[in-house]
Amino acid sequence: MRFKTKGLILKQQNIGERDKLVWILSDSHGVLRAFARGAKNIKSPKCAGTGLLVYSQFSVFEGRDSYSVDEAVAIEQFVGLRSDIEAMSLAQYFAELCLNLCPAGQEAGEYLRLVLNALYLLAHHKRPALQIKVCFEMRLIALTGYLPDLVMCAECGVYESDEMIFVPHTGKLYCSECADRMGVQGVRLPRAAVTALRHTVYADFEKLFSFELKEELLEPLSFASERYIATMTQKDYPTLQFYKQLSGSLW
Ligand SMILES: [Zn+2]
């Protein structure tokens, strides 16, 4: 059976001299692994269409227990990423997260829309990289069902405080008084950073990436979201470590 779908190449692996194995986050079938015959031939449109982090229109053949790519035509290659190693390394972390967290064998349009928007903003430097990272991480993990509880202090119910403490391994928020009294360990976030964190989870998708936050507050926020996703998924991401080395992160 053949079907057409649009999708993003999350990972590729060379098979011999001519062929590739690719992992696609597809609109219609979620993450699928497919064989792409002849995709290493640079004269073939399949070559560009199956490049890493390229968004393409695919024609896929579904065999009994495997998929193969018949056609791949690039729609968006995010060329801005290709000349910026730091942005590219962050994009590869996004791809690793998608590989681990996006569903397989079912529709995944929301996930695809999220990662395409993040890559577009990153490739065009439309937002600070850490802001894109926080939005992507928090919205992705929320889509998979791990919703943090950011509405109020988990202990006393206060909604706002000058500083609140986010606990990555529970996804709960505490006001500083309760956290100090109870000895809660977590990431200390000033009021503006808490507002931004709530926005990444609760805002309408159209407004997701649109907020203003001082650069120095993005660092702790980004640390909070990456710890949350790592503890919820019980996994460390090598691509994240690489990005942090490149970007000189102190967190
Ligand atoms: Zn409290």
- For 216-239, b where at least 16 C-beta lie within 10 A, e where not — what string? ebbebbbbbbbbbbbebeeeebeb
166 C-alpha vs ligand 1 centroid, how far in Å?
Answer: 12
Ligand 1 centroid distance, CA of 190 (Å): 14
| Cα of 15 vs its chain's centroid, Å | 27
Could you give phi then psi for residue 177, rounded to 5 degrees? Answer: -65, -50
pLDDT tens-digit readout, 208-222: 999 999 999 999 999
Q: How far is the CA of 181 from the centre of ligand 1 (A)?
A: 9
For position 169, what pLDDT does the model report?
93
* Cα-to-centroid distance, 4 and ligand 1 (Å): 52
Element (H, E) at 98: helix 85-101
Burial class (CB in 10 A: 0-12, 13-18, 19+), 162: exposed
Q: What is the pLDDT of residues 228-242, one digit of tens each?
A: 999 999 999 999 999
Quote the ligand 1 centre to 202 CA distance (angstroms): 21
- Tens digit of each residue's pLDDT (9 = 90 or more) over 90-117: 999 999 999 999 999 999 999 999 999 9
- Of the pLDDT bands very low, low, confident and very high (cuts 50, 70, 90), residue 251 is confident
CA of 153 relative to ligand 1 center, distance in Å: 5
pLDDT for 59-91, tens place per residue? 999 998 899 999 999 999 999 999 999 999 999
Ligand 1 centroid vs 157 CA: distance in angstroms?
A: 6
Q: How far is the CA of 162 from the centre of ligand 1 (A)?
A: 12
Asked if residue 178 has pLDDT above 90, the reply is yes
**pTM score, whole prediction:** 0.96
Q: Can you give the pLDDT at residue 68? A: 97
Spacing, Cα 180 to ligand 1 middle (Å): 9
Distance 158 CA to ligand 1 centre (A): 6
Nearest residue to 237 via CA among 100, 112, 49, 141: 100
CA of 164 to the centre of ligand 1 (A): 9
Phi, psi of 91 (to 5 degrees): -60, -35
> Which pLDDT belongs to residue 45?
84
Q: Which of 39, 41, 38, 32 is nearest to 60 (CA)?
A: 32
pLDDT digits (tens, 9 = 90+) for 187-202: 999 999 999 999 999 9
Q: How many angstroms does the Cα of residue 19 sit away from the middle of ligand 1?
A: 58
Question: Ligand 1 centroid vs 201 CA: distance in angstroms?
Answer: 21
Residues at Cβ < 5 Å from ligand 1 ion: 153, 155-156, 158, 175, 178
* C-alpha of residue 170 to centroid of ligand 1, in Å: 16
> How close is the Cα of 6 to the center of ligand 1, in Å?
46
Q: How far does the centroid of ligand 1 lie from the alpha carbon of residue 147, in Å?
A: 20
pLDDT of residue 44: 87
